[in-house]
Amino acid sequence: MYREITVLLRNKLFITPTLATVIGTFVVITAAAILIIQAMTSERVIRQLGGSLVDLGMDTSEAAFAEQLHAVTETANYTRASWESSELSFDDPDHLVGYIYGALAPQDRVSFMVMVNSEGKGVDVDRGDADGDILGGDVDLAADIPSLTPILEQAAGRRDPFWSEPLYMPTRKHTYFIYTHPLYSEDTYRGSFLIGMSLERISDITWSISTDDITVFLMKEKSEEVVAHPMLEDHFEELNAEAPLLHVSQISDFFLSDFSSLQIVDNEDYNIPEGMELRAGLDNDGSKRFIIIEHENDNLKGLPARIGIHFPAEFLDQPLQQLLIAIVVGLVLLVVSLLGAIMLARRIAKPIRRAAAAATDVADLNLESVEPLPSSIIRELDDLSSGFNSMVGGLKAFNRYVPRTLVQKLLSEGRADVLPEEREVAVLFTDIAGFTSVSEGMSASETAAFVNHHLSLLGAEITKLDGTIDKYVGDSVMAFWGAPDHLDNPAQPAARAALAMAAAIRADNVERTKRNEPPVRVRIGLHMGPLIVGDIGAPARVNYTVIGDTVNAAARLENLGKEIDPDADVIILASGEIARGLDAKIRQQPIGPQMVKGKSEPIDVVRLLPD
């Protein structure tokens, strides 16, 4: 008996007959079960299934709004945190405007962002007209946007962020909802960060997710006033300070405008969850429609609105005749499916075998050895092949932007999702001195080629010494040592990499001189200290990076090079923390304590001297 089991385990099943048998069996079991269930169910069950689909549609609509509102609240929270950490200041309005430009640009549903102090003075960045231009500059709420002054006064009395009631702004002739985050220093109110969303831009969301049959809208909580609707744009001119929102009866949606007289339907008849209201009525062509509206929604991030949709009644009232037709069609499909099971198994087997082998190479990131999967006459299999090939092509391109060595290290350690932690890390910054003059007279393609060549020289030296390239910013490089690998002394490889860069730059300058090209002068800054390292970013996109004051100090040391020796071909400035971790083979020239921007205490600086 034991021998028979062992032989059976060793004799693996072939994919083609196995798939044919398994697919055929599951087709028969699944189709038969579905047909039996359909034959035994009633029209009420069909309606309940339709109710589940409508519930799913409500969830989808909710997700579309929640995504936009989440971006608003997260931007406000991040801005408040940046302000509290002194990264933002009312004393530097140019920096504030630049920051808000970056925050507003990707949020196309946001109309404007304003950051003002307790006196109502600060900066305003506005998306502008329909041409998409973003405008920004200084602002005084009392003089420029007086309608926002009451919100500022309201913020002074609370700490938590909040959504305003609908606010009609006469200067803009439009109604807005304002998300406000008060800014405090300890217990003292210092100002507010305000994000405005217009009815027009909120209505754009309803327009994008509505269809010919399904209309999505927002109503104000505990009211029949309309916050957003695909047809609301036809009535913007009717808004005013006394009526910042329009009543549902004023909207040119025939069915919705009769909301108050629509018949309320028992939710249990269609398996509609509690917390929603179901109504029914007739459209202008006499066809029956349903409307579902939520009583309230916590996922709208505090926006005083509730989601509603209306749709044709047949979405819920599927007739019994359609059920019988479905049974007949199911029987036919069952026969056809059984006949096609073996053919399908044959077609599936070949690309699956090749895909299994290729997937192993992909898992090891050996993308160059992956052969393209062949096409197939079966659409799904052809999609599998083309999708797999596209995936491999995308991963190859992805490897150009994400350090392969970093990914392999994280995967080998079983740390694909890296929670932020504190590490002792050495950070390196580089920058080309006088980049403008070096690139003067170059075309765009020549400038790109020059920068790519320069970054390749530096990146190669970082990789040789197991550093992690955090990012390229124009002609600059940021890298670090001590993560993801733990290093007892990250200062040593960081300094050796900086010296190797100096040697590479000098060797390259020799070649440039032979070509009658100006030499490249480079500044390098090094600092070591505790940093937060790990996956940092939004849920949809993260970077494995480091954050903390050590990064700023390294950048300041690089910039300090222009003051210490502005004519040097390569100058490497390191902090005392770096210098104390270096061996005697690395020559050092003490510079002494230096004050750098953003630090209240001087940094002990040394210059590393190449051989």
Question: 223 φ, ψ to 5°?
Answer: -155, 165
For residue 6, pLDDT over 70 is answered with no
Residue 49: per-residue pLDDT: 59
Q: For 44-53, 76-85, 89-98, 552-561, which range has the lowest pLDDT when averaged over its residues?
A: 44-53
What average pLDDT does the segment 551-573 reach?
88
Per-residue pLDDT at 42 exceeds 60: no
Distance CA 538, CA 67 (A): 12
- DSSP state at residue 228: E
Which pLDDT score, from 0 to 100, does residue 522 have?
Answer: 92
pLDDT in the model for residue 493: 92
Beta strands 263-265 and 468-473 are unpaired
Average pLDDT over residues 453-457: 89
pLDDT tens per residue across span 395-418:
655 555 555 555 555 555 555 555
Ordered DSSP codes for 59-110: HHHHHHHHHHHHHHHHHHHHHHHHHHTTSS-TT-HHHHHHHHHHHHTT-TT-
The reply to whether domains 14-318 and 404-609 share a CATH topology is: no
Query: What is the β-pairing status of strands 112-117 and 188-198?
Result: antiparallel
Whether the predicted pLDDT of 121 surpasses 90: yes
Predicted confidence (pLDDT) at residue 201 exceeds the cutoff of 70:
yes
The structural domains of the chain, with segments of one domain joined by +, span 14-318, 404-609
Task: Select the more confidently predicted residue: 54 or 188.
Answer: 188
Mean pLDDT of 6-24: 61
Confidence of residue 9 (pLDDT cuts 50, 70, 90): very low
Give this prediction's pTM: 0.48
Q: What class does CATH assign to 14-318?
A: alpha beta
CA atoms in the 13 A half-sphere facing the CB of 604: 9
- The predicted model gives 322-330 an average pLDDT of 66
How would you label 12-26 residue by residue, b for 16+ Cβ within 10 Å and e otherwise?
Answer: eeebbeebbeebbee
Residues 6+ apart with CB under 8 A from 116: 122, 123, 139, 141, 152, 191, 192, 194
Highest mean pLDDT among 42-56, 353-367, 380-394, 515-529: 515-529
Q: What is the pLDDT of residue 12?
A: 62
211/387 Cα distance (integer angstroms): 29
For residues 466-473, average pLDDT: 86
Tell whether the torsion through CA atoms of 527, 529, 535 and 539 is positive or negative.
negative
pLDDT value at position 572? 92
Q: What is the C-alpha to C-alpha distance for residues 352 and 333, in angstroms, rounded to an integer?
A: 25
Top-level CATH class of 404-609?
Answer: alpha beta
What pLDDT is stored for residue 58 in this prediction?
Answer: 75
Whether 484 contacts 413, CB under 8 Å: yes
pLDDT band with cut points at 50, 70 and 90 for residue 51: low
137 dihedral zone (left: phi>0; alpha: psi -120 to 50; beta): left
Measure the CA–CA gap between 544 and 407, rounded to whole angstroms.
Answer: 10
Check: CB of residue 283 under 8 Å from CB of residue 260: no
Helix (H) or strand (E) holding 139: strand 135-140
The predicted structure's pLDDT at residue 418: 58
Each residue's pLDDT tens digit, 416-452: 555 778 888 999 999 988 887 777 778 888 888 888 8
For residues 331, 333, 336, 339, the Cα torsion angle rounded to the nearest 10 degrees is -80
Q: What angle do CA 355, 357, 358 make, to 5 degrees?
A: 60
pLDDT digits (tens, 9 = 90+) for 587-599: 999 988 988 777 7
User: What DSSP state is assigned to residue 145?
Assistant: -
Of 462, 481, 478, the C-alpha closest to 470 is 478
167-to-176, 226, 441 alpha-carbon distances in Å: 5, 14, 52
Quickly tell me which residue has 């269609």 as its tokens: 270
Average pLDDT for residues 514-535, to the nearest whole number?
88
Which two three-digit tokens encode residue 401? Answer: 């932007």
Q: What is the pLDDT of residue 1?
A: 47
Return the pLDDT at 245: 93
Q: Which residue has the higher pLDDT, 54 or 191?
A: 191
Residue 459 has pLDDT above 80, yes or no: yes
Mean pLDDT of the 24-39 span: 67
251 DSSP assignment: S
Q: Which residues pair with 481 in a beta bridge?
A: 426
Query: Which of 284-288, 342-346, 374-378 is predicted most confidently?
Result: 284-288
Give one DSSP letter per residue of 465-524, joined into a string: TT-EEEEEETTEEEEEESSSS--S-THHHHHHHHHHHHHHHHHHHHHHHHTT-PPPEEEE
In Å, what is the CA distance from 24 to each residue of 34, 328, 380, 455?
15, 19, 18, 57
Mean pLDDT of 507-519: 90
Which pLDDT belongs to residue 320?
A: 44
Q: Predicted confidence band at 5 (pLDDT cuts at 50, 70, 90)?
A: very low
Between residues 128 and 578, the one the model is more confident about? 578
Please choose, from the candidates 223, 230, 205, the residue with its C-alpha nearest in 3D space to the C-alpha of residue 108: 205
Q: Give the pLDDT confidence of 163-200 residue by residue, as tens digits.
A: 999 999 998 899 999 999 999 988 899 999 999 999 99
